[in-house]
Structure 1
Amino acid sequence: MSKSEAKSLANSLESFEFLLGIVIWYDILFCINMVSKNLQSESMSIDSTIEQIGGALAFFEGYRKNGFAASMNIAKELAFDMDVEPTFPVKRRVLRKKLYDENTDDEDVRSPEEAFEYDYFNIMTNMAIVSLRNRFKELKRFESIFEFLLDSKRLQSLYESEL
């Protein structure tokens, strides 16, 4: 049993879907890692944090639009170097009985590439964008509350009564 599982795992590691997934994850984790390292520096301030998260958000919004095609090109180059066929496996369509009142013209017929983009790539990038937007909104709210503490010149110019 374990021999067949190992063989199955080895076959899946040599698939084009796996290579494309690795390329996509590399891009995502590289961006997150860069921001994370910058946020951990001792000299990081709230305005720099907002700028960093805003930059990551802009990256993911651009990546959502153009990243799949770029990732496909990189994955195809890797597949060529590794002698892996740069195609998606065609999955068998599951047919089910239609009820008399169902419209049969609205069937979802997507290519395997479109299905991967929709079911994998878009979901991952959307989750990253939503998460970063939430963090960005929280930080902007925090900044608006404690804005006077963030600018040392402004803080020095305030009178004790204003503080």
Structure 2
Amino acid sequence: MKLYIKRLDNAKDLPLPRYMTQGSAGIDLYANVSEEVTLNPNEIKLIPTGIAISLPKGYEAQIRPRSGLALKHGISLVNTPGTIDSDYRGEIGVIMINFGNKPFIIKRGDRIAQMIINKVEIPEIIEVEELDNTERGEGGFGSTGL
């Protein structure tokens, strides 16, 4: 499987996203901002990455928070994980939120998220009148205990 990454014209100076260690599951994504962006507490902003990708059919890219930003600053992603479909060719944007109590500054080239590539099974969709029974049934939202 190959992942094709295109750096947009305004992001040629940013590093190509890469795995930071041999054991990394995620590829670090960089902030493609022209000036510093302040993310205030409880604020949501779309931060561009300056890249577009091409995935083979049957794969997706998931955009996830970076654990260090979450622990140290309360920074996360609103739609985590965000899904990039195999047929999307536009710029990847990261919807960031500040759950912390101090403003967080995003600078050009900061590592802001990670991208995980996953194989996706596409099932045949079949409508039925009834579903099979299970012991759990319709119980959800904590029905099995704490």
TM-score for both structures, normalised by structure 1 = 0.21
Structure showing the higher helix proportion among its residues: 1
TM-score w.r.t. the length of structure 2 is 0.23
